[in-house]
Amino acid sequence: MRALVTGGGGFLGRYIVEQLLARGDQVRVLGRRDYPDLAAIGVNCLRGDVADAQIVSQACADQDVVFHTAAIAGIWGRWEDFYQANVVGTQNILAGCREHGVGKLVYTSSPSVTFDGTDQNGVDESVPYPTRWLAHYPRSKAIAEQQVLAANQPGKLLTCALRPHLIWGPRDQHLIPRLLQRAKSGKLRIVGDGKNRVDMIYVENAAVAHLQAAAALVAGGAVCGNAYFLSQGEPVVCWDWINELLELAKIPKLERKISYRAAFAIGRLLETAYKIARKYDTEPRMTRFLAAQLATNHYFDLSAARRDFGYQPQINMKEGMRRLAETL
């Protein structure tokens, strides 16, 4: 199979690339940097931004499947930046697939496209998109996800969207390093009562799910035109897991707390102050979205992914933490 991975030099994208190569597929990567290490192992690397329709069209040429993982993530920034990367970029991918007759598109979405700031206790894919948004990232991803699913057209382009929650593991350059840095600097507090349960997913499991979903994208298949939550299938107490992570990194465990209400109010104030000052290149220490993510339950029913494309985590939490510990 000839596969394009957008964002293939990133955290999840790189694992998808490696798994494709391991089974003998031809892989092309579109990313905003050069990746000489990937080129050295036979990956066709194109440098460019998904918001550039011309380079996207070039990348989609002669491909059988596209794994679209490229995105701008984050809790703060300009709406225009999120829109260009996550919405326009996805529109360009869809156009490139149609132009070059790509048969399959697997879109990396996010469970946050359904998050309205309240608890999500074992919800499935029937949960609706919210009517209010606490950050630009989930709003832009929701717009893009809906466009991807609407683009599913038997005989032309088959699409699906995957919603992996809190991807973690070795080589992570975002979630875990930021948690550790905040804890080291004394800027991390338990938000809420510290008992909220969350789902997460080990990165290799997330990558496997992408390949499984692509294989199940066949005419008349259940996967076509649908979105799927992905996780380990074993929710953890968020702050217990964070403290376990800190212990592995030999950082003192967290004990100090701040109420969800207070954190949310501080987030609102900081967002207002940053907007007035037009500080969009630096994230506030707290935002409404971050407070809600850190204090509420959000775990999901994986029945659809298990049923429709055979998803089953191959690496459990214990083994994943063991592998992660070797890299800290």
**pTM of the predicted structure, to 2 decimals:** 0.96
Tell me the pLDDT tens digit for each residue of 248-304.
999 999 999 999 999 999 999 999 999 999 999 999 999 999 999 999 999 999 999
CB atoms within 10 A of CB 53: 16
Tell me the pLDDT tens digit for each residue of 77-109.
999 999 999 999 999 999 999 999 999 999 999
Encoded amino acid at 84, one letter? Q
Count of alpha carbons within 13 angstroms of residue 156, beta-carbon side = 11
Distance CA 286, CA 55 (A): 36
Query: What is the residue extent of each domain of the chain?
Result: 2-172+199-235+300-314
Catalytic residue numbers?
A: 137
Encoded amino acid at 122, one letter? G
Q: Which CATH number is 2-172+199-235+300-314 given?
A: 3.40.50.720
CB 112 within 8 A of CB 166: no
